[in-house]
Structure 1
Amino acid sequence: MAELRDGFTRAFQKYLANPVMRLVPMQTLLETTGRRSGQPRRTPLGGRRTGNTFWFVSEFGERSQYIRNIQADPRVRVRLRGRWHSGTAHLLPEDDAHARLRELPQFNSFGVRTFGTSLLTVRVDLDG
């Protein structure tokens, strides 16, 4: 049943939600470099900036394509409030992702908790 839910959630995000959300000017986006294509890949997500650090939780952990891209090249960009920031992403499997979600915006955190099956905390150290 979990695999069916994951498949539905991924298809919904890939073909409906993400294309629409990418068009919203103030939507937070994570830009990674495609590990095979070398092309920029933009993923809408939620998280929180604290100083020069941006935190978010991946709902499918290492099965997420953007996490696989980060593993191949941790240099990323994050669009926050319409402005792009470069940085380096760090995967934190030892972090308590459920506790981290309580510190992040609740609307997105609800979705990650509800549909996520393999939570993984990610910290992006933003340049300057």
Structure 2
Amino acid sequence: MRILVVDDDYTSRTQLKSLLAAYGDCDVAPGGEAALLLFRDALESGLPYELVTLDIEMPGMDGKKVLELLRAQEEKLAVPAAKRSKVLMVTVKNRLKDVSESYNKECSGYIVKPATPQSLKEALKETGLA
């Protein structure tokens, strides 16, 4: 499985990459703009990411905006709904507003930091990836 980990915090990014390495090859991005470039390149190359983890609170472009733009890229390239990337939102704050906004923008799941092997496994099962 191809995985993209997006988080502005180096420690969180490294931890998630380490935990997800058991599930596949992980690329990382320190923010939204870098993530969008990697995501677009993956789509255009025919090797899209099956999973993207997005930190909700990042400087500049937050995770909810990145999610919206990722989905727009998939739509522009006519990616069928069943083939779209699964996106897990990751955050320290478990706020109902963030959860509902993320699901409205078509996220696949939600994890509260710090992510654990168990929380990731459960989230991946819910998305059908584990």
Q: Answer whether TM exceeds 0.5 for this pair.
A: no
Q: Counting strand residues as a fraction of each chain, which structure ranks higher? A: 1
Higher relative contact order (CA 8 A, sep 6+): 1
Q: Return the TM-score normalized by structure 1.
A: 0.31
Q: Counting helix residues as a fraction of each chain, which structure ranks higher? A: 2
